[in-house]
Amino acid sequence: MSVQERIELLRNELNQHNYNYYVLDDTTISDFEFDIKLKELEKLEQENPEYFDANSPTQRVGGTITKNFETIVHKNRMYSLDNSYSKEDLLDWEKRIQKIIGSTDLEYTCELKYDGASINLTYENGRFVKAVTRGDGFQGDEVTNNVKTIRSIPLLLKGDFITDFEIRGEIILPLDGFAKMNQERLANNEEAYRNPRNTASGSLKLQDSAEVAKRPLDCLLYQVVTSERKYKTHFESLENARKVGFKVPETITLAKSIDEVFEFVNYWDAKRHDLPYETDGVVIKVNNLQHQEELGYTSKAPRWAIAYKFKAEQVSTILNEITYQVGRTGAITPVANLEPVQLAGTTVKRASLHNADQIEKLDIRENDTVFVEKGGEIIPKIIGVDFTKRPEDSKPTIYATNCPECNTELVRTAGDAKHYCPNQFGCAPQITGRIQHFISRKAMDIEGLGGETVDLLRKEGLIENYADLYDLKVEQIIPLERMAEKSAQNMIKGIEKSKEIPFEKVLFALGIRFVGETVAKKLAKHFKSIDNLMTADFETLIAVDEIGDRIAQSIIDFSSDLGNMQLINRLKSFGVQLEVSQESLVNQTDKLQGQVFVVSGVFHQMSRNELKKAIEDNGGKVSSSISKKTNFIVAGDNMGPSKLAKAETLSIAIISEQDFIDKIS
């Protein structure tokens, strides 16, 4: 067998296993065997770059970085849907369309309304070429590299279909995958994501496609868009889409009359909580494609389709007590402690009350009977009070004036919805929370130490702040509950190892308010050391790209606190990285300042990622697609013909890998 044949064989096998697992939900190979085959394919592709294929299963692991998603005008507008909320609404709709078509004999396709982010996928000659978000319906963002990582989306179609078409669907996060992601986040002391829909649509705009690949996203298809008249009905086009590899849910149903539509609606209104993903309604579409064409569109939605929205489930229960939670940054969140009640398949005991304004606006009081609703959010909401049941001795809620943990008077700055406890260094949940944040995965990533152990160490009086971690000794830890020699050693090893964590992560770990991961990266790159950052004045700070007043002020507040400066000096003395390392500075220049690069094809002297890093290290910018703003295209082997054509029309300089290396050396 030739190398090319072997590559083809592996690709076909891997595609089939992917399809079996992610579309049919049927495992046909062990993870281990799958990995072995994938590794073999990766190796063959690396050694034989002439067989590179953007649609190879190896391209699903991600790794491309997109800084700016290109705006693309939709070939066919992506409309909204008109909504209906009752059977009467649906009957009215039926009457309207019967009149236009001039017939009472219409068929409908009933589908669930999947709750995620809509996406438009383009296929040419049976190959996936591009994915664009809905955006405003006229134009959206190109997110091809991110979408390619979703395993249930076929990159190559099998069998007979239309040659060139678009297909639309919804990118969703199934509930179990969402729950797993949140468990991991909580274990890492990160805030839980609020709901699957926002998390799914946020995932599409992540810059690093390798991060997207890690998320258990799925894509459910609901509309084939083409000018070819191969199919007579919508249902038929979906069934054929399923045959060539798309995940078209089995729940779609053909209804011969509006009564059968009602049956579908009733069935799923009762059963929707058994589904593996969220749905907020049903979409009903006229089945005959010719009828669809006759009906056409209003200015915002097709006349041939309508959404039916399920009522959000609501229950009433008694609010026993309002308590207050203190977060790591001192932010106070009021919590409603409820008489436990069943709602949408779960028992609800608590609901967030957001902030003082919300309580005042709804006039929520203890001992009130309140209405609780489960909308898109995972945490249920209180949407109002049943005033008819308010007890006679009821008194308006007086919002907490002091911290429930340390009794310090709370503050609220103008323009901020939340109250804060300002006692940073004396308030227990803030102290513990800061240390927990410090050790978390995206910060110092300390292995062998978890959030609960931090709590324990604090209670035992062994640590007061994150610098104290570096003074811990094995002998102090062994006697603690659930600790043994081995685990104690691992913990100390983990702490020791964190001294190698690069400055940008250390800066994030410090827990300066409003300095998240991305801001920390920017600041580290600009200021290069903690000393430069801590001595910078307000004007210097806001002069940095994307650093605004709020962040600048927070850094000034942090640096003007003596306690913080002592902590930093101690971290320094332990050898924690408080400046950008020499190694990473060596290769950094401003040679490519202000220049925008697009990288395309296969390279020999460095990997794509190395090439991109080299561009950024030398002050240049990497963009994922060619536009007027592009200065250079670094072209390797097999640069895509469409990119080449575009580069030529825009007269953008195309340079080779060697030209690039000469440029920076």
> Rule CB under 6 A: which residues touch ligand AMP?
80-81, 111, 113-114, 118, 134, 170, 222, 283, 307
Minimum CB–partner distance for residue 567 and Zn ion (Å): 19
Compute the distance between CA of residue 631 and CA of residue 650 in angstroms, rounded to an integer.
10
Q: Which is nearer to Zn ion, 430 or 625 (CB)?
A: 430
Minimum CB–partner distance for residue 227 and ligand AMP (Å): 20
CB 418 within 8 A of CB 350: no
Pick what 515 binds: ligand AMP, Zn ion, none; C-beta below 5 to 8 Å, kind-dependent: none
Q: Which is nearer to ligand AMP, 108 or 222 (CB)?
A: 222
Give, rounded to a whole angstrom, the gap between the first and last alpha carbons of the chain: 43
Phi–psi pair at 547, nearest 5 degrees: -100, 120
Pick what 134 binds: Zn ion, ligand AMP, none; C-beta below 5 to 8 Å, kind-dependent: ligand AMP
Pick what 283 binds: Zn ion, ligand AMP, none; C-beta below 5 to 8 Å, kind-dependent: ligand AMP
Minimum CB–partner distance for residue 159 and ligand AMP (Å): 23
Minimum CB–partner distance for residue 589 and ligand AMP (Å): 45
- Secondary structure (3-state) at 315: strand
- Which residue in 277, 343, 267, 345 sits closest to 310, CA to CA? 267
Active site residue 230: no
Minimum CB–partner distance for residue 358 and Zn ion (Å): 21
Compute the distance between CA of residue 661 and CA of residue 647 in angstroms, rounded to an integer.
21
Q: Which is nearer to ligand AMP, 123 or 222 (CB)?
A: 222
Pick what 55 binds: ligand AMP, Zn ion, none; C-beta below 5 to 8 Å, kind-dependent: none
Q: Which is nearer to ligand AMP, 283 or 319 (CB)?
A: 283
Pick what 522 binds: ligand AMP, Zn ion, none; C-beta below 5 to 8 Å, kind-dependent: none
- Which residue in 101, 18, 58, 571 sits closest to 289, CA to CA? 101
376: enclosing H helix or E strand: none
CB 566 within 8 A of CB 425: no
Pick what 19 binds: ligand AMP, Zn ion, none; C-beta below 5 to 8 Å, kind-dependent: none
Pick what 346 binds: Zn ion, ligand AMP, none; C-beta below 5 to 8 Å, kind-dependent: none
Minimum CB–partner distance for residue 427 and Zn ion (Å): 3
- Catalytic option among 75, 95, 113, 232: 113
DSSP string, 71-133: EEE-SS------EE-SHHHHHHHHHHHHHHHT-S---EEEEEEE-SEEEEEEEETTEEEEEEE
Minimum CB–partner distance for residue 78 and ligand AMP (Å): 6
Q: Which is nearer to ligand AMP, 171 or 578 (CB)?
A: 171
Minimum CB–partner distance for residue 168 and ligand AMP (Å): 7
Q: List Cα–Cα distances, 137 to 71, 78, 178, 285, 386, in angstroms.
A: 12, 4, 27, 19, 40
Query: Taking phi first (over 0 means left), then psi (-120 to 50 degrees means alpha), and beta for anything else, what does residue 591 get?
Result: alpha
Pick what 513 binds: ligand AMP, Zn ion, none; C-beta below 5 to 8 Å, kind-dependent: none
Pick what 241 binds: ligand AMP, Zn ion, none; C-beta below 5 to 8 Å, kind-dependent: none
Half-sphere exposure of 321 (CA within 13 A, CB side): 3
DSSP string, 435-481: HHHHHSTTTT--TT--HHHHHHHHHTTS-SSGGGGGG--HHHHTTST
For the chain, what is the total number of helices (H) and then of strands (E)? Answer: 25, 20
Q: Which is nearer to Zn ion, 387 or 425 (CB)?
A: 425
Pick what 118 binds: ligand AMP, Zn ion, none; C-beta below 5 to 8 Å, kind-dependent: ligand AMP
From the CB of residue 511, how many other CB atoms can be counted at a distance below 10 Å?
21
The residue with tokens 């910060």 is 443
Compute the distance between CA of residue 538 and CA of residue 621 in angstroms, rounded to an integer.
27
CB 151 within 8 A of CB 60: yes
Site residues for Zn ion per CB under 5 A: 403, 405-406, 408, 421, 423, 427
Minimum CB–partner distance for residue 408 and Zn ion (Å): 5
Residue type (1 letter), 268: W
Rg (CA), the chain: 29
Distance of CA 240 to the CA centre of its chain: 31
Compute the distance between CA of residue 447 and CA of residue 491 in angstroms, rounded to an integer.
7
Q: Which is nearer to Zn ion, 57 or 330 (CB)?
A: 330
Minimum CB–partner distance for residue 71 and ligand AMP (Å): 18
Q: Which is nearer to Zn ion, 408 or 627 (CB)?
A: 408
| Residue 35 burial (10 A CB sphere; 0-12, 13-18, 19+) | exposed
Minimum CB–partner distance for residue 220 and ligand AMP (Å): 7
DSSP string, 175-206: HHHHHHHHHHHHHTT-PPPS-HHHHHHHHHT-
- Which residue in 610, 626, 586, 624 sits closest to 660, CA to CA? 610
Q: What angle do CA 611, 613, 618 make, to 5 degrees?
A: 100
Q: List Cα–Cα distances, 444 to 200, 450, 577, in angstroms.
A: 27, 12, 11
Q: Which is nearer to ligand AMP, 71 or 489 (CB)?
A: 71
Q: Which is nearer to ligand AMP, 283 or 351 (CB)?
A: 283
Q: Which is nearer to ligand AMP, 83 or 103 (CB)?
A: 83
Q: Please identify every residue annotated as catalytic.
A: 113
